[in-house]
Structure 1
Amino acid sequence: MIGSGGFSGGVHPKQMKITAGSPIVQSPLPPRLILPLKQHIGQICTPIVEVGERVLRGQKIAKSQGYVSAPVHAPTSGTVLAIEEHAVPHPSGMGRLCIIIEPDGKDEADESLPPITDYRAEDPGVIRERIRLSGIVGLGGAVFPTFIKMLRDHRHPVEMVILNGIECEPYLTCDHRLMLEHSAAIVRGLDIIMHAVEAQRGVIAIEDNKPDAIAAMQQALADIAFEHIEVRVLPTLYPQGSEKQLIQSVTGRQVPAGKLPLHIGVLCQNVGTTRAIHDAVCLGQPLTQRVVTVSGDAVPSPANISVRIGTPIPFVLAQCGLEDLSGVRLIHGGPMMGERLSRLNVPLVKSTNGLLAMRQEALYSENAVEEPCIRCGHCVTVCPVGLVPNELAWHCRNDQFDRGQEYDLFDCIECGCCSYVCPSHIPLVHYFRYAKGQVAKIEKERSFAELSKARSEARDNRLAHEQAERAARRSKVRKQQAGDAAGEEVSGAETSGDGKEDKA
């Protein structure tokens, strides 16, 4: 059926999905695997292996540190060569602590997570724990630890699970191919999620530009006879795949500002995440590889590739015929929400859904000269969140972060619609990301200052308390000494008096 509800704004960029008809191919093992210990929102993991140690495919090599975290597993068997800082996919070219593995070519598996053959017979908590142990995060780009989204909240029970099969970013087709080639696993993965959160309804949301995927998922549902799950077809519109916009399109309800989908009884999961959940539960396989779309005008043979996490990106590009990276602009993700990488020798990570190698502009000019805002209002019209991007950007670029927050800075989903339509070539999303980063930095510094102040006050109080205790002890000693001295004087006087009486 055609979904109702919809959301305001949105754009129709060129789709450029030239790999939609390209079946998923398996990438060979690279000479080295580089595994960052932070591939998720939350705290960095702690290594639990040592240099020189042999590891197996699926073996946990870094454990979660803190609650919001996701463990890291070895993508194949081999030897740990180093545990050191290495550049990771980030616009700044920043480095993170990584475990570097040399594959031995045997691909021997660790079997510490046995398959769960009848997941419906298991307690939902057992399924959620399996998902946690498997290191699964949101593979649509958010990389939030999946088990946390699935925790039960009796105040807000989940009524509906929405499977996000939208994939509205231009160029990207990895989710499209997954739905075509692994439809049964995805449907079972959705059923696993529904059991884990005790939801009664499941919806597979797909845009109408993917008729083959729609047919594949409908056939999978018919084959398995899951009557509690339906396919919902939505009109093609960017950014329909954004969580809150998708929920509004499917349910007709808005997630209130500052709230989560859980607060209206909805849980969303990405296609790739759902397939990973199926593999973790039914096959006992933690998250060690993912499907990536490699495309762009610099790529001789664009493809959808299943790649081991930690594979160096130049190695992946070489599988598609691109070996000379001189003059190439590399985008991590899609052209609308992805980020341009300043360093190319970085690993593919859990969040890598696309690699775009471009010699020309992807969709709109990144190098055009920024001109003054002409107040045309196009950015306001297309904003799916209902913001006023031109006003917000003015405050952000002038470091007026308090005013920016008054204009709902943190409601911005960074979809790029405003930048896409701006005739003045103003990099609006760039300013919003900058402002968010600065606010986070200020809050961190403020928290650190408050913590330092609290520690200083606690230290002063402790020292004052210790000083008071020492003074009390000294006073007690002095009083005791004074009492002893007085006693000695009395004793001496009595002794002296007794002597006089004897002489008398």
Structure 2
Amino acid sequence: MKTSLTHQLWTFPGGIHPPERKDLSNQVAIATLPLSSVYRVPIKQHSGAAGPIIVSPGDKVLRGQPLTAAELPGQLPVHAPTSGTIAKIGPGRVAHPSGLPDTLIEINADGADQRQTLEPIGDYQAFSAADLITRITAAGIAGLGGAGFPTAQKLNQQRPLEALIINGVECEPYITADDRLMREHALDICRGTMILLHIVNCERAILAIEDNKPEAVASFTAVLNEFPAIELRVIPTKYPSGGEKQLIQILTGRQVPSRGLPIDLGFLMQNVGTAYAVARAVEHGEVLDQRVVTVTGENVDKPGNYWVRLGTPVADLLAHTGFRAEPQQRVIMGGPMMGFTLPDLTVPIVKISNCVLVPSTQELEPAQTEMPCIRCGACADVCPAQLLPQQLQWLAKAKDYDGLEQQNLFDCIECGACAYVCPSEIPLVHYYRKAKAEVRTIAREKAQAEVARQRFEARKERLEREKQERLERHRQAAEARKKAQAEAQQQGAPNPQDAVQAAIARAKARKAALAAAKAKQEDDSSA
């Protein structure tokens, strides 16, 4: 039975309540990080294919100038974070759990920070959804909540919506980037939400915030009278209530089906940071070249939130915030639940970098040695996706990919709740991430092999078709010759075959005469 969207709230299975530790970074306003001397911009900062590079080493660029193009669906451009010169283009470390390199565009800043912008759109309601989606693509906007899915591609759906959900939950411990953004820029977020409603042709938006952010709630309460289409919902604090499927279940009581999407239930979800970026892109012509990043942990002197240009090395961010390294110091991109330890500090900030966590060993103990599973079942009790984490781990270690598919591996949101409660210190999410990567690799190889097979079969069919066409042409030519000969004989013309036979007879006679002459010559010489 379809549940109406009322002020009633539901819950989701599992979940945990880890220490929040948000007060370390949410007490001061968002500051602006000083310019770096060098920026290292990855060409792929979203979920999807990277666009082609349209600059070369030695080129002069302005802040906001595209460095890559978006030529295909799913591609997004990246932009220069400041003015300067393209120093080099090549492989380098990026913000990814694998630690593998990807292509970077390195820019030497000139210090002038000269900027180019897109043409601002005054009255967005006078523009079509397609025009606004084109603007959002040109601005390079991806989902800022963590997944980095291209916003334009998400908006370009054809199904009617019951509601647009704006996610301001930010449930992971330590991270307060969205909290401070909501406190300081509630009006821009509301304006971006109205633009999104216009694009998707929906009349209702629900803004969800956890009840541990009373200042953010107050900021929106002060402005929402101007936006009757936006409804504020304050939900209980529980991790991971900010997950897309979990939040929909809290707000509506409905479950997104396995392998399904919110659009299947008539909902579309965007992060508050994404709504803010949309407002800036449409109304001010600003591309996505910076974002709010939380820098927190007991080993930085100035924890807080900062406007950071994309491509800024993490080392520069930590140097400005008073980083104090201890032996075997970990620097984590993201929060303690879903984040990953950086291989080095040259890794740049990207569109989905919402936090740099620098914990002391007292506040966040290093990972302990993995011990055998005792089958306590605690991981299954807290799983918000109602999976069997223990079974998934066994299947992942055994590389049983069919079994992983049957156990709905890809329903795992990698929230880390299972690893958090595991008494055996098993890094369960690590196994799931690795297994997902292997399954995707196998699927990609299968797809490539299928394409190769289809190309081989198509070539084989083409060669066979061309062979049959040649044989048919030869047959038709032979029949035409026979028909011509028959018509010529009927008209009294000499038979070409008779001429052939006569020529053969003359050749034989010449050959016999030559042989006789040679024999006679031999007899005369012997006499």
2:176 partner amino acid: T
Matches within 5 A, 1:240-389: 240-322=241-323, 327-360=328-361, 363=364, 365-389=365-389
Whole-angstrom distance in 1 between the partners of 2:239 and 2:7: 17
Distance 1:6 1:179, change over 3 A: same
Q: Which residue does 1:144 correspond to in 2?
A: 149
Distance 1:275 1:51, change over 3 A: same
1:281 partner amino acid: V
Deviations 1:40-90 (A, max 9, x none): 111111111222221112111210242111111111221111222221112
1:408 matches 2:408: yes
Question: Is residue 164–residue 271 contact of structure 1 (8 Å, CA) maintained in 2?
Answer: yes
1:34 matches 2:35: no
Q: TM-score, normalised by structure 1?
A: 0.92
Distance 1:392 1:482, change over 3 A: same
Please give the secondary structure, in 2, of the residue aligned with 1:329: coil
Matches within 5 A, 1:21-100: 21-100=27-106
Matches within 5 A, 1:123-162: 123-153=128-158, 156-162=159-165
CA-CA distance at 1:483 after TM superposition: 8.5
Question: Is residue 299–residue 324 contact of structure 2 (8 Å, CA) maintained in 1?
Answer: no
State which of 173, 193, 211 in structure 2 corresponds to 1:190: 193
Q: Structure 1, unaligned stretches of length 5 or more?
A: 496-504
Q: Which residue does 2:210 correspond to in 1?
A: 207
| Residue range with higher mean Cα deviation, 177-186 or 451-460 | 451-460
Distance 1:450 1:267, change over 3 A: same
Question: Is residue 27–residue 304 contact of structure 2 (8 Å, CA) maintained in 1?
Answer: no
Please give the secondary structure, in 2, of the residue aligned with 1:71: coil
1:393 partner amino acid: Q
Deviations 1:245-274 (A, max 9, x none): 111111222112222111111111111111
CA-CA distance at 1:26 after TM superposition: 0.4
CA-CA distance at 1:16 after TM superposition: 1.1
Please give the secondary structure, in 2, of the residue aligned with 1:60: coil
| Residue range with higher mean Cα deviation, 237-246 or 76-85 | 76-85
Deviations 1:100-132 (A, max 9, x none): 112222222213x21111112322222222111
Whole-angstrom distance in 2 between the partners of 1:282 and 1:65: 24
Question: Is residue 311–residue 349 contact of structure 2 (8 Å, CA) maintained in 1?
Answer: yes
Question: Is residue 79–residue 101 contact of structure 1 (8 Å, CA) maintained in 2?
Answer: yes
Question: Is residue 46–residue 62 contact of structure 1 (8 Å, CA) maintained in 2?
Answer: yes
Asked which structure has the greater CA Rg, the reply is: 2
CA-CA distance at 1:173 after TM superposition: 0.5
Question: Is residue 241–residue 247 contact of structure 2 (8 Å, CA) maintained in 1?
Answer: yes
CA-CA distance at 1:354 after TM superposition: 0.5
1:26 partner amino acid: T
Question: Is residue 19–residue 295 contact of structure 1 (8 Å, CA) maintained in 2?
Answer: yes
RMSD: 2.4
2:256 partner amino acid: V
Q: Structure 2, unaligned stretches of length 5 or more?
A: 1-5, 486-493, 504-527
Q: Which residue does 2:171 correspond to in 1?
A: 168
Q: Which residue does 1:499 correspond to in 2?
A: none
Whole-angstrom distance in 1 between the partners of 2:113 and 2:396: 50
Please give the secondary structure, in 2, of the residue aligned with 1:46: coil
Please give the secondary structure, in 2, of the residue aligned with 1:358: coil
Question: Is residue 258–residue 408 contact of structure 2 (8 Å, CA) maintained in 1?
Answer: no
CA-CA distance at 1:472 after TM superposition: 4.8
Question: Is residue 300–residue 324 contact of structure 2 (8 Å, CA) maintained in 1?
Answer: no
Deviations 1:311-360 (A, max 9, x none): 11101111111275863212111111112222321111111000112341
Alignment: residue pair count = 490
